[in-house]
Chain A
Amino acid sequence: MLATPWICRSCVRSLKRIGFSSQFVRRASTVDSSVNLPPALLERARNLTAEYDELNAKLLNDFDPKIAKRAGEVGKIASAFRQFEKAKASLSELEGLIKSDDAEMREMAREDLADTNKELIESGRNLSVALTPKHPFADMPCVIEIVPGPGGTEGRFFADSVYKMYLSYCANQGFRAKAVQYVTAEGDGSKKGNDGEVALQEATIEVLDEGAYNHFRGEAGMHRVQRVPWTETKGRTHTSAVAVWVLPSFPENASAETEAEWENPESDFYIDASEVKAEKMRASGAGGQHVNKTESAIRLTHIPTGITVSMQDNRSQHANRTAAWKLLRSRIAQKRREEREEQARALRSSVLSQSQLTRSDKIRTYNYSQDRCTDHRPGLDMHNLPDVLRGGETLHKIITSVQTWMTEKDIQALLADEEAAAAVADSKAKKGK
């Protein structure tokens, strides 16, 4: 595929003369079609399949819900592995037939070979997806927070665009989204940006569908904008950034199970209430019957981490407090997970370094003058920026490709882990000798 959507005729002619130089051809790709699954992964799949058979045999004798649960987890991998093995076996058989003397048979084998190859690739990918560990928060709804980065008013204006983009994307894709918080910046209230943007200070969208976290987690990071701002008189292009945070959130009616999770000190969502400082953002003074303030804003500060959350949209102090706690739990859980991942990364080889997503990485660029949106992780260029900002199909394509890319990275990380573990086991075995 060409990196540019169109090329003028004279350029095409000159291209013909010099031939397609490699610099015009995009090589970045989100699809890795190799069937060569590393031995470590296959070994693991084989072990798990053996375990699955064993568990099934046990289940036949007596039913134990724990074993049944484990069997359910492993079953998917086992069936994917069987399919893969089958495809591999039939492929080797076909290769044998191709060498046969019968011309007709050779012809038939060749016809089947293409299909079987495709099947093998497919089942190989299924197997590696099945082996990839599921993100612990994958089934949860999520909260998307949009905060303008450094870059003054221009960043704030673009933050409004990003906010609208996600809201309409959710509407287009059928996600149930709800604006939890929308705070415009004080002082810039009268000014308007491109397309009537308002200077945004902070906005929070809650996507209520289960699994929304898995869908949107690739959106977390720095979103960079390059454009000529409305207020710019000399026509210079400015670059500013908007930070997007995606955090797992709880369903509206938290079930007893998740509430129990909050009380469990082992859980990511556990917060010791004595470590939280609550401030009501109201004027100091006598309080109580003496005054009658309507401000119901709540600010919670988690002292050990310094994470601060404030809520002010609802008239009810109680509702604001509930929302603030929810957000605080999500942020702390996210932070804890990031810390854990960071530790794990330090132990692993460097394969992972590109796929770690922290807030500081620039992940996407919106370039207005080139009508282009680039995601830097899969290296995907999309045109038709207005459609992206409307949350249309173009944005959906970008988000999907990021998801694919993240799955690939997860698999790579898994393989690196397996190999490292195998190496450690090997060296131990050698030492043992």
Chain B
Amino acid sequence: MPRLPPSLFHTAAQIHPLAPRLLPVCRSLASVRSELRWIAQHVLQSQSSHLVPPRLRLWQLVDLRATGLPLQYVLGSQPFGSLDIKCRKGVLIPRPETESWTLYLASLLSSSSSPSQGLRVLDLCTGTGCIPLLLSSSLSARNTPLSSVTGVDISPRAISLAQENLAHNLRLGTLLPSTGSKIQFLQHDVFSPDFVSTLGKEEVDVLVSNPPYISHRGFATDTARSVRNYEPKLALVPSPEKQALSSTEHPEDVFYARILHLAQQLESPNKVVLEVASLEQATRVVDMVHSSPELLREYKTIEIWRDEPAYGGGVIPHRIEGINITVSVRGEGNGRAVYLSRD
């Protein structure tokens, strides 16, 4: 990281006496200004439940943020679409990229014809529960019928936080009570051999997942410091025993292989969306689909979505070198998700 000039600290001190403390973690004045404002807003909004006077609490929270703890953990929440998602140490913070593709998927689902008994949605590695909650909220806002929404995670912490988020958003009114009763969260290992039978379901219509996708090496070199130090490695990097199951030279892709296998067992859901790290990883996942004749037969549409699938004017064909496949890439930004659809 480049060194910050001392004059920047001087300028920051004129904005607010606490601003220089945030500068090392925020790295820019604009960001410092926004974060200070958000922390101050949070202090004022949540004042009634605290005994410490506001100025002291601002000080405390800024101190906490200055240690490098992510702002979402300091404030305990992150806006996600129209929802407010609670965040706590030990569970991955929802990312804006995930928000973008989730909202785009919701718009696709509500514009295409859906089964009359309602959609069945399954989210694997759900974490805070942000994806199934946002899908439910935006689908019910567009009058698309839902039959059941299930989130699965291996971590008991994540499941209890997801339950809390469901209750929290029902209380805020961002989720309708009629929708809330259809959502459930289960603690289960995606890799366990009896996964499908314990799920108690034979079919789903929409399968989504934001699984751990960073390699050991990538975790050490590419991740931001606040991610490395404070967010759960379990949600970022597939654990060594799972990586051992992989037969390819990219063991971080092991979750995709498993989820695509599950997709076949679940009678090929209508739509599958898997979040990935980059265009390279996306092409590897597309290659996995192409190497399975059953999947290739079922899924007519295979796309790679970038960070903003709704923008940039439609799809651009992208040729993958080496394996001679052409795949459509949609949107703007980094490669972010692989989308499979039966129609």
Contact = CB atoms under 8 A, between A and B. Distances in A.
B122 interface: no
Contact of A189 (B14, B72, B222, B332): B14
Interface stretch (A157-165, A283-291, A404-412): A283-291
Interface string B323-336: 00000000011101
Contacts of B81: 318
Interface in B167-215: 210, 212-214
B223 A290 contact: yes
A314 B34 CA distance: 8
B275 A294 contact: no
| Range class of the B interface residue count | 35 or more
Nearest to B96: A317
Contacts, number: 108
B334 A288 contact: yes
B231 interface: yes
A360 interface: no
B277 A290 contact: yes
B99 A275 contact: no
Given A289-B92, A290-B214, A291-B223, A273 B310 contact: yes
Contacts of B93: 292
A318 B79 contact: yes
Interface residues of A, number: 29
Contacts of B336: 287-288
Nearest to A276: B311
Interface string B63-82: 00000001110000011111
Given A318-B82, A319-B79, A289 B333 contact: no
A278 interface: yes
B29 interface: yes
A99 interface: no
Interface in B225-256: 226-227, 231, 235-236
A23 interface: no
B136 to A, nearest CB: 16
B11 A315 contact: no
Interface in B36-65: 38
B300 interface: no
Contacts of B29: 186
B307 interface: yes
B11 A280 contact: no
B227 A278 contact: no
B308 interface: yes
A295 interface: yes
Contact of A289 (B30, B34, B214): B214
Interface string B107-119: 0000000000000
A312 B32 CA distance: 13
B11 A190 contact: yes
B222 A278 contact: no
Nearest to A191: B14
Contacts of A291: 223-224, 227
A97 to B, nearest CB: 71
Contacts of B276: 288
Given A273-B310, A288-B334, A319-B79, 17 more contacts: A273-B311, A275-B313, A277-B311, A278-B308, A278-B332, A288-B277, A289-B92, A291-B223, A291-B227, A292-B224, A292-B226, A294-B26, A294-B34, A295-B31, A314-B79, A318-B79, A318-B81
Interface of B: 11, 14-15, 26, 29-31, 34-35, 38, 70-72, 78-82, 92-93, 95-99, 103, 210, 212-214, 218, 222-224, 226-227, 231, 235-236, 275-278, 307-308, 310-314, 332-334, 336
23 contacts: A273-B310, A274-B311, A277-B332, A280-B333, A287-B97, A288-B97, A288-B275, A288-B336, A289-B210, A289-B227, A289-B235, A290-B214, A290-B277, A292-B72, A293-B224, A294-B35, A294-B72, A315-B34, A315-B78, A315-B79, A316-B79, A316-B80, A319-B79
- Top 6 nearest A-B pairs (CB, nearest first) are A316-B79, A274-B313, A278-B311, A291-B224, A190-B14, A317-B96
